[in-house]
């Protein structure tokens, strides 16, 4: 009997753990959106989740860790965003501009809370900063079809160029769309399209 019932109990416990984990993430997002990252506390998140500090710390190390976990939930969409660019049937400036306009800006608008919270957590916690950098590298690797000529001694240079594109775009969108620095939309899209199209063309050509 024990051998039969244990898997069921384990599955139930895993489901309970996942439900609690997701509840804390959803409540943290609401709290961060309402109070801001720095003003929010673990106590605020626990209260919003109608939970306990013990349960919170069973899932997350601290406030920065739950901020990082919030961002981790959108990583599949991040990968899909760059994968879309990587698999254009033909690389043209107009297609790059459309990708920026219709997909990148929509992504940043949809996930403004997660991105803002993560950016502040990165400034406060070196461990989150290290995770964020690796996420940037992973995003750059989604551009692999443009890096096929960058092999051997040139491999790291190619990946670094792709990473700098990702980080540059991230910073531009953060100040523009999250922090509200005023820019002319058409102008910014034109400049970003020029930069991305030229660099991707160069990457595809190889060193």
Q: So what's the pLDDT on residue 7? A: 57
pTM: 0.88
For 2-60, the fitting CATH number among 2.60.40, 3.30.450, 1.10.10, 3.90.920 is 1.10.10
Q: So what's the pLDDT on residue 186? A: 96
Task: List Cβ neighbours of 29 (8 Å cut-off, separation of 6 or more).
Answer: 70, 113, 114, 117
The whole-angstrom separation of Cα 159 and Cα 12 is 43
27's tokens:
């409540």
40 with 31: CB under 8 angstroms? yes
Q: So what's the pLDDT on residue 9? A: 57
Q: So what's the pLDDT on residue 78? A: 96
The whole-angstrom separation of Cα 146 and Cα 202 is 9
Task: List Cβ neighbours of 66 (8 Å cut-off, separation of 6 or more).
Answer: 24, 25, 28, 45, 59, 60
Q: So what's the pLDDT on residue 8? A: 56
One pLDDT digit (tens) per residue for the chain, 207 residues: 444 545 555 787 888 889 999 999 999 999 999 999 999 999 999 999 999 999 999 999 999 999 999 999 999 999 999 999 999 999 999 999 999 999 999 999 999 999 999 999 999 999 999 999 999 999 999 999 999 999 999 999 999 999 999 999 999 999 999 999 998 999 999 999 999 999 999 999 999
């Amino acid at each position: 009997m024990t051998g039969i019932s244990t898997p069921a109990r384990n599955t139930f416990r895993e489901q309970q753990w996942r439900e609690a984990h997701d509840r804390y993430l959803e409540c943290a997002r609401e709290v961060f959106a309402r109070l801001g990252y720095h003003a929010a506390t673990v106590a605020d998140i626990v209260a919003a989740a109608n939970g306990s500090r013990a349960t919170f710390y069973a899932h997350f190390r601290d406030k920065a860790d739950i901020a990082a976990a919030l961002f981790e939930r959108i990583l599949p969409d991040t990968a899909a965003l760059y994968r879309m660019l990587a698999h254009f049937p033909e690389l043209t400036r107009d297609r790059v501009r459309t990708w920026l306009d219709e997909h990148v800006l929509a992504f940043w608008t949809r996930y403004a809370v997660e991105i803002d919270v993560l950016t502040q957590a990165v400034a406060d916690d070196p461990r989150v900063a290290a995770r964020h950098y690796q996420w940037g590298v992973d995003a750059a690797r989604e551009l692999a079809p443009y890096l096929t000529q960058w092999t051997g001694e040139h491999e790291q240079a190619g990946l670094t160029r792709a990473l700098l594109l990702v980080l540059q775009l991230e910073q531009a969108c953060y100040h523009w769309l999250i922090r509200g620095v005023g820019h002319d939309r058409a102008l910014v899209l034109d400049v970003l399209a020029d930069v991305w199209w030229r660099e991707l063309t160069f990457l595809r050509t190889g060193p």
